[in-house]
Amino acid sequence: MSMGKPVSGAGSTAGTRESVGEFDYVIVGAGSAGCVLANRLSEDPAVRVLVLEAGGSDRSVFVAMPSALSIPMNTRRFNWGLRTEPEPGLDGRVMNLPRGKGLGGSSSINGMCYVRGNPMDFELWSALGAEGWHWANVLPYYKRMEGVDAASDMRGGNGPLRVTRGRMQNPLYQAFVDAAGQAGYALSANMNDLQHEGFGPMEMTVGNGRRCSAAVAYLRPALKRGNVTLITHALTERVILDGRKATAVAFSSHGRSYVAHVAREALICAGSIMSPVILKRSGIGPAAELASHGIPVTADRQQVGENLMDHLEVYVQQESKLPVTLYSSMNAVSKLMLGARWMLTKSGLGASNHFESGGHIRSRAGIVYPDIQFHFLPLAISYDGSALADGHGYQVHVGTKRSKSRGWVRLGNADPASTPRVRFNYMSHPDDWMEMRASIRLAREILEQPALSPYRGRELAPGSQCQSDAALDQFIREKVESAYHPCGTCRMGSDADAVVDPECRVNGLQNLRVIDSSIMPQATAGDLNAPTIMLAERASDLIRGRVLAGIPDARLLADPEWATRQRSGQITRDYAGQRDLLREQLLQESKTRREQTS
């Protein structure tokens, strides 16, 4: 076995489990979090790190080219190909559930939207029991990970993750932002800087015209150090426990069985679907479920696999009267030219994810910070690229970010190769319907503003006939889609029911942590990849017994009259010196949500 290179293990006879050696840290999953940990923990040349990844290489032009994002998302080489159970709240629809498989995980197949989330997301995390994860403490890690063109007190310029914004050359991007301003919303020069609420340019994890996945930013540099071993096509079966102490990780590769011994810690970074599955196969989870599959119970943890959250969205699509949209580039010849230019220069339309402007607003008065997100696209097409409108059009992807519905992840059976059962229970809470209707109506209002008048044709979806609550509800049932942001299934907290504590350690066990989006106590108000990478950055320091100093005066902006109005052109109230008051208000809102959900 060679250090720092993908290997599939030495030969072994069928039915035996051969050791691949002992490592200080065994990381399960080379996704967004696992790549970060491999990099940061291997900064110490005396530390030996093993990374186990169920998928293979991420080397593909379709992964690297930002505009080709729908291709790896729909390719089994890069995607686990999961589907949900029939969703009761959506008339039994079975939903697509893309999850990254291969180096970089979902950061190699996602839409590359870079959204930190609202600073108040992390105040809420801390208030819900994830102590230490408030904004002042996580901001230094956002700065450490970022490589933006213009560093500042709020942004990092030297981090490994390249973050850029689109050139916004298509006039529709700015017209959408201008329309939002005309509708009475605040504008923000950078929604990842001081002011998250409002509308403006969006950022993407793209560097030099190429997708900057976690594998590109973190794993590849780590592999060059010589103290990181990567085993691909390695399906983790379970964590081996000696009493309540993790001592090894059992996995299979190419039909052969192996074990990796753990000197310090096993780190589960398999994502919100697979991390709880691995815990359950290791005897950590709801006792009744484990017993039903013949798995001996080491730790009865009822919340493992529960609390599953996601972001849902619909498309409000408009016909364009002017031929300025990306539809002109959807024919075979244009795609060929686009691809050729990208291959030669890493520039042009191929170098963008095309989500170059967007926004964040509150669905109603009484909400402290935004719970609705917009992604604008100068094309009328489904997110996975499977359905294209017949002609020029544009659309806004819109949906709520703090849904009250909760789902679960459960074992299909005890076989490590089996597919888990997943049900989000989408739209199972009545308030989710109210908020999704509001999302559509508020989006329509923006699209009807004068800034878009030169382009605006007929509404393609939901369509002008779809106005009543009942009609909108039917549209939502039929057309709502996941934004592919599952989280929460190994919830972090300070209470006895939490799966992991605020240092990401599995409660009641030794030498075992879970570090990925599964431990988020609440979904953030935006795309989840950036918060997941930040989470792993801070966790890497918690593992090493050190953390960056917080920024006590980190600003927390809100509409000064959020309690009585839904929108404002001025987001000026700063809670930086009133964190206790803010936490109280956020907890009250969250408490109401939990009571209504239960």
Please write the tens of the pLDDT for every residue from 271-289: 999 999 999 999 999 999 9
Grade residue 231 by pLDDT with cuts at 50, 70 and 90: very high
pTM exceeding the 0.75 threshold for the entire prediction: yes
Answer yes or no: is pLDDT of 3 > 60: no
Domain-embedded: residue 547: no
User: Does 343 reside within a domain?
Assistant: yes
- Residue 595 clears pLDDT 70, i.e. is over it: no
Banded model confidence at residue 589, pLDDT cuts 50, 70, 90: confident
- At residue 596, the pLDDT reads 46
At a CB cut-off of 8 Å and minimum separation 6, what does 415 contact?
Answer: none
Instruction: Say what the pLDDT of residue 382 is.
Output: 75
Greatest extent of the chain over all pairs of C-alpha atoms, in Å: 72
Amino acid occupying residue 192? N
Q: Is residue 587 part of a domain?
A: no
Per residue in 196-205, pLDDT (tens digit) is 999 999 999 9
pLDDT at 141: 98
SS (H, E, C) 312-370: EEEEEEEEECCCCCHHHHCCHHHHHHHHHHHHHHCCHHHHCCCCCEEEEECCCCCCCCC
Q: How many alpha carbons lie under 13 Å from residue 237 in its C-beta half-sphere?
A: 17
Q: Three-state DSSP class for 399?
A: strand
Judge whether 57 lies within some domain: no
The confidence score (pLDDT) of residue 373 equals 98
d(CA 54, CA 51): 10
Neighbours of 569 (CB within 10 A): 13
What is the domain-level CATH number for residue 332?
A: 3.30.410.40
Domain that holds residue 179: 167-201+312-400+427-479
In a domain, 24, yes or no: no
How far apart, in whole angstroms, are the C-alpha atoms of residue 82 and residue 420? 8
Question: Which amino acid, residue 190?
Answer: N
Residue identified by tokens 């508020």 is: 442
Residue 430 has which token pair?
Answer: 């009545």
Q: Give the pLDDT confidence of 473-491 residue by residue, as tens digits.
A: 999 999 999 999 999 999 9
Residue 521 inside a domain? The answer is no
User: What's the DSSP call for residue 505?
Assistant: B
- pLDDT tens profile 431-471: 999 999 999 999 999 999 999 999 999 999 999 999 999 99
- Give the separation between CA 371 and CA 312, rounded to whole angstroms: 12
Active site residue: 134, 196, 311, 485, which one?
485
Identity of the amino acid at 340? A
- 471, part of any domain: yes
Plot region of 348 (φ>0 → left; ψ -120 to 50 → alpha; else → beta): left
358 neighbors 202 (Cβ within 8 angstroms): yes
Tokens standing for residue 488: 């929460």
Clarify whether 311 is annotated catalytic.
Answer: no
The answer to whether 515 and 532 are in contact (CB under 8 A) is no
- Whether residue 598 is predicted with pLDDT greater than 90 in this model: the reply is no
Q: What gap in Å lies between CA 210 and CA 212, rounded to an integer?
A: 6
Total Cβ atoms within 10 A of residue 155: 21
Question: What average pLDDT does the segment 10-22 reach?
Answer: 65
pLDDT in tens, 318-365: 999 999 999 999 999 999 999 999 999 999 999 999 999 999 999 999
Q: Is 569 in contact with 186 (CB distance < 8 Å)?
A: yes
Q: Of 506, 481, 484, 482, nearest to 493 (Cα)?
A: 506
Tokens of 341: 């230019």
How does the average pLDDT of the chain come out, rounded? 94
Any domain includes 149 = no
DSSP-assigned beta bridge partners for residue 17: 257
* C-beta of residue 500 within 8 angstroms of C-beta of residue 265: no
d(CA 353, CA 377): 9
**Helix or strand run (H / E) with residue 333:** helix 332-345
Number of domains making up the chain: 1
**How sure is the predictor about 11, in pLDDT bands with cuts at 50, 70 and 90?**
very low
pLDDT tens profile 508-540:
999 999 999 999 999 999 999 999 999 999 999
